[in-house]
Structure 1
Amino acid sequence: MNRAKIQDYIDQREEQRADLYHIERDDENHFRLNGHPYELVKDYRDGFNPTELAKRFSSVLSKYDYIVGDWGYDQLRLKGFYAKENPGFTPEKSVETIEDYLFEDCNFGCAYFIIHNEDVKVGHPHHRRRRRNHSSKKGPVIKERRRKVKQPSVRHRKNQHAERVKTGKHQQKFVIRQRKQGAKKHK
């Protein structure tokens, strides 16, 4: 895929998203993004651009208490952070780590802004959460029913023996076969 084709896909996607989100300014520091209230907390080097925020915004970001938008290579990047009161709070994504994010992950001296979500939407009403088995942190436990074999072990069967069969270069399997009449037992 060449660059021109990739750029065409990007342009098509931007056209599709153009009317998806819109911003209405209430005053200098307060605005509504699709009717959802936000407050502009910090605007460093005029990094806040309402039209670009509307283009890049996603409904996933409405679960965060604070959203940082930073500019690099003429692209706006958005990242969310939680307050301690939020049920989704984790220390890695807490409000206290915003400064670390700006110093470590953003371009040096880049323009950025911080907005506060005044009405956090915890969870999305249209998405159901998957049930998880909490007995194991590694994932759901798969329980399997097995039938008990009522036959004696292969060594104790009178007319059968197990034979090793190679199926590939480093693979093998065992096959249980009928013993020929008069054959001696292998030990």
Structure 2
Amino acid sequence: MNRAKIQDYIDQREEQRADLYHYEATDEKHFQLNGHAYELVKEYRHAFDGEEFAKRFSNILSKYDYIVGDWGYEQLRLTGFYDRQNPLYNPEHGVEAIEDFLYEDCNFGCAYFIVHNDSVHLPRQHRRRKRHSRGPAIKERRRKANQPDVKHRRNQHAKRVRTGKHQQKFVIRSRKQGDKD
């Protein structure tokens, strides 16, 4: 795949994403993205551009209390951080880690901004079903009712076939009259 084809794919994806999120500025520090309220907390070197923020935004960022956007090589990168009161809080992605993130992971002196999410949308927790110890962990396919038990199949033979370097499968075929193992 050459660079021109990759760039075409990137351009197509940007066109698809262009209409997903709608940016509306309510005042100098507050704005809405698809009706969801945000507040611009800090801006360094005029980094905040609402339209670019809307282009790069993803639904996964709505679970974070703070979103940091930094510019590097003319690309906007968005990273989320949790407040201490958020049930998903962990120290690596907490508010206290924003300054470390800016010093360690961003380009030196790059333009950045910090946005506060006014109403966090926590993802729903999926409950996992408990595994019962009533049967084997591997479910076997049921054989047809008219087939005899494996021990009594005299008219079939199994053959191992290699499908790759470390892969194999077994093929069961009907044995012709007169064939023996």
Query: Normalising to structure 1: TM-score of the pair?
Result: 0.69
Instruction: Report how far residue 145 of structure 1 moved.
Output: 3.8
Amino acid at match of 2:73: Y
Aligned to 1:92: 92
Q: % of aligned pairs identical?
A: 67
Alpha-carbon distance in structure 1 between the residues aligned to 2:29 and 2:77: 20
1:126-154 deviations in Å (ceiling 9; x for gaps): xx625176xxxxxx8988549xxxxxxxx
Choose the corresponding residue for 2:128, options 128, 131, 138. 131
Q: 1:145 to 1:54 in 2, by over 3 A?
A: closer
Instruction: Report how far residue 22 of structure 1 moved.
Output: 1.0
Q: Does 1:33 align with 2:30?
A: no
1:152-177 deviations in Å (ceiling 9; x for gaps): xxxxxxxxxxxxxxxxxxxxxxxxxx
Alpha-carbon distance in structure 2 between the residues aligned to 1:141 and 1:96: 43
Aligned to 1:76: 76
SS at match of 2:96: helix
Alpha-carbon distance in structure 2 between the residues aligned to 1:74 and 1:142: 55
1:69-117 deviations in Å (ceiling 9; x for gaps): 0000000000000001001101110000000000000000000000000
Give 5+ residue unaligned stretches, structure 1. 134-139, 147-187
Amino acid at match of 1:15: E
Q: 1:142 to 1:80 in 2, by over 3 A?
A: farther
Aligned to 2:67: 67
Segments ≥4 residues shifted beyond 6 Å: 140-143
Amino acid at match of 1:45: R
Aligned to 2:47: 47
Aligned length: 137
SS at match of 2:80: strand
Q: 1:9 to 1:145 in 2, by over 3 A?
A: closer
SS at match of 1:71: strand
Give 5+ residue unaligned stretches, structure 2. 138-181
Query: Normalising to structure 2: TM-score of the pair?
Result: 0.71
SS at match of 1:110: coil
Aligned to 2:20: 20
Instruction: Report how far residue 4 of structure 1 moved.
Output: 0.3
Please tell me the root mean square deviation across aligned C-alpha atoms, in Å. Answer: 2.0
